Structures are given as C-alpha cells and as structure tokens.
Structure 1
Amino acid sequence: MTKLKEIFSYLFFGFLTTLISILTFGLFNAALGEKLYLINNIFSWVISVAFAFVTNKIYVFRSLEWNVKILRTELFGFVGARIFSLVLEEAGLFLLIDIMKFNSFETTVLSFSITGGFISKIIMQIVVVITNYFFSKFIIFKKSN
C-alpha cells in the first residue's frame, strides 16, 4: 500500500471515527446532561475505539492476521494507546472547558446550537487523530507496514 493511500485511508476512517465520537458525545450530553461531559466522553470513546480498531486493522494498515496471539497483541496495544489519547483528550477538555471557560461560548449556525464544549471536543479530536496515527503506524501495526 502506498504511503499516500495509507494516509488517505487513515484520514477517511479517522474522520468516520471522529464523527462517531462527536455524535455519540452529543447524544450522551443530551441524555445525561453536559455537566457529565467527562463521563459522556468516556462512553463515546468506548464506541469509537471499537470502530477504530476494526477499521484500522483491516482497511488502513491491512493487518489481516487473525492468530490469537497477534490479535491480542494488536488489541492490547491499540487499547493502551487509545487510553493514553483518552487521558490526553480528557485533560484537554478539562483545560478548555473548566480552566479556559470555553463553555461560556455559544452560537447558532443553521439552527444548530454550537457550544464551547462542542468546539473543545473538535479541537481535542484533531489532537487525538494525530496522536493515534503515530501510535498505530509506528507501534501497533508496524509489522504489517
């Protein structure tokens, strides 16, 4: 697989993963309340990581080995890296929302309310996508590259 195709695939599936993360974050915020944003983010993270593992393994890095030992190594490495990026994201959300008070911002675009919490989530998703690419490319799925 060419480098460009791999990067395009990662960005495409990363976009879908980010979309899933943002949509589920919004759903959990609506269902449980925005005051629980850190808990809501963890719920959205679990759903997103499951999707990301499958798409990264199969479609991005073409790691088609299903041997239990290899699968376990990839899965634990993937989840471990994603836990790191979750902590990074949670810290970033806390910094942006609670410390920098992004939550005081709100505007409406095409009848949709855009809050500072939502913007904070998007900013942190960009950081997470970049961090996760490096973990996946150079550590988790490196043997299949």
Structure 2
Amino acid sequence: MDKRISTLYVRYGEALRYLIVGGLTTLINIVLFFGLTHLGIAWFWANIAAWVLSVLFAFVANKKVVFASADMTPRTVFKEAVSFFSLRGASLLADTAILFVGLTLLHGSPIIVKIIDQVVVIGLNYVFSKHIFS
C-alpha cells in the first residue's frame, strides 16, 4: 500500500500541492474580499486588495512548496515575480469581468459569484504558474 501511495505522490504530487496552495490562496482571497466589502469597501477595490495579498502569498507558496524553485538569486526571484504577477494580472482581468457580470449585471449572490470566479481563476493560474516555475 505504501508503494502505491508513494508512486501516486511522485506522479501527482505537484498537482496535489498546487491544489492545496490554490485552496489556501482562494481562502485568503475570499476572506479578504468579504471582510473588506463587509467594511463598506466597494467590490472592485476589495477585489483588488484581496488579489494583491493573495497573489503575494501564492507567489511564495508556489515557488517554495509547489514547484520547488530553489534559485533564490535576486535576479531570478525578480524575474519570476514579474512574470508571476504579470500573468496573474491576466487572471485578475477574468476575475474582475466575472464579478462585474455576476454582481453588477446579473445581481447574483456575492458568495456564489465569487466561488464561480475563483474556480475559473484557479484553472488559469495553474497554467500560468506552471509556465513560470518549470
């Protein structure tokens, strides 16, 4: 049984680690988003703040935990950070568009719209992160 688990982890470990980090990143994003909107901050600005903080967490966690990118030279970290934040910026556009349509145009439930939004964003971010750290 241990050998099967070990084999599965070797085969799917990266995806499993990404799902865990992605789940934590999503949780950070959702908690910050709803905390800030509860304080009266407009959804757009709450989303931007939640994005910045959750992407900062995601960068560090993806670099260290998911993709085990060991190169910590300032040049490499800067290059990876610029790429990571730039590509995550593309997912921020999708994030904002989904929230705009769901909240402003369709007047949907904020929690349902935010969860749908985050599912789409997680998929986009995996593709982007894989490109940066591999």
TM-score under structure 2 normalisation? 0.90
Query: Is 1:89–2:95 an aligned residue pair?
Result: yes
The two structures, once aligned, show a CA RMSD in angstroms of 1.2
Alignment partner, residue 133 of structure 1: 126
List 4+ stretches of structure 1 deviating above 4 A.
none
Between the aligned partners of 2:115 and 2:33, the Cα distance in structure 1 is 11
What is the distance in 2 between the residues matched to 1:73 and 1:41? 25
Listed as ranges, the gaps of 5+ residues in structure 2 are 1-8
| Residues 1:54 and 2:60 aligned together | yes
Cα deviation, residue 74, structure 1: 0.4
Residue 46 (structure 2) aligns with: 40
CA–CA distance in 2 between the matches of 1:43 and 1:118? 17
Question: Which amino acid in 2 is paired with 1:88?
Answer: A
The sequence identity of aligned pairs, in percent, is: 38
| Amino acid of the structure 2 residue aligned with 1:133 | Y
Q: Structure 1 residues 99 and 59, CA, compared in 2 at 3 Å: closer, same or farther?
A: same
Offset, 1:3: 4.0
**TM-score, structure 1 length as denominator?**
0.83
Q: What are the residue-to-residue correspondences of 1:62-77 with 2, within 5 Å? A: 62-77=68-83
- Structure 1: gaps (5+ residues): 103-115
Distance, in Å, in 1 between the alignment partners of 2:75 and 2:119 is: 32
| 1:59 CA drift (Å) | 0.2
Cα distance, 1:32 vs structure 2: 2.2
Count of residues in Structure 1 that have an aligned counterpart in Structure 2: 126
Which residue in 2 is equivalent to 1:118?
Answer: 111
Partner deviation per Cα, 1:38-74 (whole Å, 9 max, x = no partner): 1110111111011100000000000011111111110
Match for residue 21 of structure 2?
13
